[in-house]
Structure 1
Amino acid sequence: MGSILLFLSVLAVIGAWWLSRQGLASKPWLEQGTASALPAGSLTPPSKIGLGIFLAVVGSLFALFISAYAMRMQLPDWRALPIPGILWLNTAMLALSSLALHGATNAVRRGEMPALRIGLLAAGISALAFLSGQLLAWRQLSNEGYLLAANPANAFFYVLTGVHGLHLLGGLVALGRTTEKAWRETAAEPLRLSVELCATYWHFLLLVWFVSLSVLTGWASEFVDICRQLLT
């Protein structure tokens, strides 16, 4: 349960920071002057609010998975499976994809179309490399006899990585549409919101992957144990 509390705490901190950046606590009806005098960026776009709600739901879903994982591994029939080495390369690919989208966000704010296109393209290629690596990890485990139904630990590994991969695959659809528009548009400003939404989604999935990987490797439990020892 320690790992699930840690995960929820991290999500709560990030959520509070994100909301503070969106200006949702402001009271526009108390602002002085006419409506036309209000700052153009004072209101949060509905798409950003929608994405925030969606990420909260997805975070809760993964929190439930991780909680079930932590409880199920306490039973005697649990047999941990080896972590394929390719997962570390996959992690680097996902981090590179998130970093590329961060660069694309900076480029779209500066109005630099060439840098924006390169960033979006690099993010998409890196994300596809991550998904391909995940499939290779599944194939390696199945060839070694670690099948889905062979043990609860195997099932949780496939479910956690599979659900995460499906969310990334869905994000690739939005990223692909944004990239296609970037190659047609001559100005960066119309793409700003789409790029920022993609970047936020990618950063979130990277965080979820780090937490999931730490749980699968046992690092989260060790970290919680160390914290408990320091507090006692």
Structure 2
Amino acid sequence: MTPSLLRNQPQPNPGNAWQTPSVSGVDRAHAAKLGLRLFLAVVSSLFLLFLVAFILRSQIPDWQPLTEPMAPLAQTGSLWLNSLFLIAASIGLQWARVAARRGHGKTTAVAFILGGALAIAFLAGQFWVWQQFAAQGYLLASNPANSFFYLLTGLHALHLLGGLIAWARTLSKLLLREPVQSLSTSVELCAIYWHYLLALWLLLFALLTSTPQTYEAIAAFCGLR
């Protein structure tokens, strides 16, 4: 075959050997992010229904506010501390997310561990708050406001606990020194989930510590009265 004919033949591209796995990896990452968005939409709908029920129930006369001077939520220092734990956890996961994108394995692992540890501290703080409620006689069934406090904070903690399971699986792979590039999507999904739970918690915190007058205003604004 002449040299001119050889030049006209299609030349092999060494990059083609990696093209299919790369596309497959992108597809998996896209599917995982889409799945997380759908899950968060379902969770948001669930909490929205509970919040509407909360506002409706607060308008019935037997509702005993937890923010009265002698009630547990008259002092919110413990909840503020827990909120700081969750804010710091979200910052830690975001730090890990950025480090994973840049391929910094050690920084990713340190930030990822820090974020999870602070989330565990938040859960421990919430458990302590529940114990304080019980010690003061504010049990689950003794008042509708109590029931909603345990329900909303418990559901939030349950979703965070589920996130910690995914966090632990990703952490085990990081500690086994798997390439950080292959775990970048998992780290990013954990960070997104933590940011969502932080925003949800701040909403719950603001609502649970509000006054009956605020509930009345919300009910009137939403046409629930």
| Smaller-chain TM-score bracket | 0.7 to 0.9
Larger Rg: 2
Q: CA separation of 1:223/1:160 partners in 2, compared to 1, >3 Å: closer, same or farther? A: closer
CA contact (8 A) 1:214 1:220 kept: no
Aligned to 1:5: none
Per the TM alignment, residue 220 of structure 1 is displaced from its structure 2 partner at its CA by 11
Q: CA separation of 1:129/1:42 partners in 2, compared to 1, >3 Å: closer, same or farther? A: closer
Partners of 1:221 and 1:192 in 2: how far apart?
46
Q: CA separation of 1:219/1:55 partners in 2, compared to 1, >3 Å: closer, same or farther? A: farther
Q: 1:52-74 deviations in whole A, cap 9, x for unaligned?
A: 11000001111111110011001
Aligned to 1:209: 201
Per the TM alignment, residue 85 of structure 1 is displaced from its structure 2 partner at its CA by 2.5
Matched, 1:187 2:179: yes
Q: Which runs of 5+ in 2 are unaligned?
A: 1-18, 67-71
Partners of 2:175 and 2:98 in 1: how far apart?
17
Per the TM alignment, residue 222 of structure 1 is displaced from its structure 2 partner at its CA by 4.4
Partners of 2:211 and 2:202 in 1: how far apart?
11
**What is the identity percentage for the equivalent residue pairs of Structure 1 and Structure 2?**
46
Q: 1:127-151 deviations in whole A, cap 9, x for unaligned?
A: 1100000000000011011111110
Aligned to 1:142: 134
Partners of 2:149 and 2:101 in 1: how far apart?
39
Q: 1:136-194 deviations in whole A, cap 9, x for unaligned?
A: 00000110111111100000000000000000001000001111111112521001110
Q: 1:66 aligns with which of 45, 51, 54?
A: 51
Aligned to 1:48: 33
1:158-177, aligned counterparts within 5 Å?
158-177=150-169
For 1:56, the aligned partner's letter is A
For 1:93, the aligned partner's letter is F
Aligned to 2:69: none
Question: Across the two proteins, how many residue pairs are aligned to each other?
Answer: 191
Where 2:32 maps in the other structure, the secondary structure is helix
Q: 1:82-127 deviations in whole A, cap 9, x for unaligned?
A: 3242111100001111110000000000111111011111011101
Q: Which runs of 5+ in 1 are unaligned?
A: 1-35
Partners of 1:78 and 1:220 in 2: how far apart?
9
Partners of 2:40 and 2:177 in 1: how far apart?
29
Aligned to 1:80: 65
Where 1:45 maps in the other structure, the secondary structure is helix
Give TM-score, length-normalised by structure 2: 0.78
CA contact (8 A) 1:113 1:186 kept: no
Structure 1 segments (4+ residues) deviating >3 Å: 39-44, 219-226
1:116-131, aligned counterparts within 5 Å?
116-131=108-123
Q: CA separation of 1:56/1:191 partners in 2, compared to 1, >3 Å: closer, same or farther? A: same
For 1:187, the aligned partner's letter is P
Q: CA separation of 1:175/1:221 partners in 2, compared to 1, >3 Å: closer, same or farther? A: farther
Q: CA separation of 1:90/1:153 partners in 2, compared to 1, >3 Å: closer, same or farther? A: same
CA RMSD of superposed structures (Å): 2.5
Aligned to 1:110: 102
